[in-house]
Amino acid sequence: MQREQAPTETQVAEDSALQDELTMERPIEALNSIWIEELTWIEIRDAMAAGTKTVIIPTGGIEQNGPYVAMGKHNYVLQGACEGIARELGNALCAPIVKLVPEGGIDEPTGHMRYPGTISLREETFHAVLDDVASSLQAHGFENIVFIGDSGGNQDGMAVVADRLNERWGKSIAHYIPEFYDNISIVENDRSKGNNLTI
């Protein structure tokens, strides 16, 4: 059995300096943003200490959308939607949009990959990206990690990864919200109850 070595003076000094840095006061006014990439780590730390425990991971895509709509349509939709959802919740931040998703076969183009400009990820690459992003956020203390997607090709991957993460973590932290993209079924269900919801 190997004995655990005592930390060196250098390691103790580095740990002390890190603790001082991690507990420092914010030197500037906080930015009014819900986007993680726009915030400083101190702003994120303080938001979490104030009760922000939910993070939304939006997934979009770069794919053809007909002759009049930009390739990044799904990502643009998510810029507005994620911000609106996070602000409405009041205790959530938005992770950077995962802009590259499965869009069809690459070597022998299928699906959207038949159109110039489309960028596709292999399903296993997409799963790995989602897993790493969610795991990073969970390691920092986020308690609800929510996947939403504005493209059909990324729905199954988000469901698979959320299930896998919850199994690994032993509790339900990752949540996939299929209704975000499948809004037609929500409208139909609402109408079947005699309401008149429109999209």
Record the tokens describing residue 89, joined without a space.
Answer: 């919740």
What single-letter amino acid sits at 131? D
Q: What pLDDT is attached to residue 22?
A: 75
Distance between CA atoms of 48 and 40, rounded to whole angstroms? Answer: 13
> Rounded to two decimals, what is the model's pTM?
0.85
**Residue-wise pLDDT tens digits, 20-63:** 677 778 777 888 999 999 999 999 999 999 999 999 999 999 99
The CATH code for residues 31-192 is 3.40.50.10310
Record the tokens describing residue 136, joined without a space.
Answer: 């990073």
**Residue-wise pLDDT tens digits, 74-133:** 999 999 999 999 999 999 999 999 999 999 999 999 999 999 999 999 999 999 999 999
**Residue-wise pLDDT tens digits, 124-180:** 999 999 999 999 999 999 999 999 999 988 999 999 999 999 999 998 899 999 999
